[in-house]
Amino acid sequence: MARFGGSEFIGFSVPLVFSGRYFLLEPGEKPLLSVFVEQNGKPIFEVLKNKPARNQITDVTTNATGVVTITDKKTGKFLYKVRPGSETSIVFGKLDRGEIPARISDRLIQVGGITVENCRFLGNMAGVVVEPDGSVRIGAPIPAIVLGLLNSR
């Protein structure tokens, strides 16, 4: 069990999913954020334990303040950026080129105008799912293939 944003994640700590990308948090004094996308049954990490992870589908850069920015390698389109820390902040790129802010703290998960706090997510549930058009769902199931990847970690 892990606690993030005042919510309990029992089984897996997947507070956010964005456009097929799974944001995993490992609890600790400074939580460790990893982000991966499933492709052909394998995880492709873009961020691994708060650090940029080189991969074949995205360009991943970091700046002097530790902000990690991810863009599509083929199109150059901005996908998201994260600032890991005790309060992790994330900005997602939208289809219309706008942005969706998100924040995960010890008290809440906040995405756009949605705030989730004091919830319980069991086993195969993601906390908040953000779609590229900006729509948000709460408590969505994690696909079986991704659950298999998480079980093999």
- Alpha-carbon distance of 17 to 74, in angstroms, equals 22
H or E stretch covering 149: helix 144-151
Structural domain span for residue 46: 2-151
pTM for this predicted structure: 0.82
103 within 8 A of 110, measured Cβ to Cβ: yes
pLDDT for 100 equals: 86
If one counts the domains in the chain, the total is: 1
> Which residues have C-beta within 8 Å of that of residue 151, sequence separation ≥ 6?
none
pLDDT, one tens digit per residue, over 82-141 is: 987 766 777 888 767 788 888 877 677 788 788 887 777 766 777 788 888 888 888 777
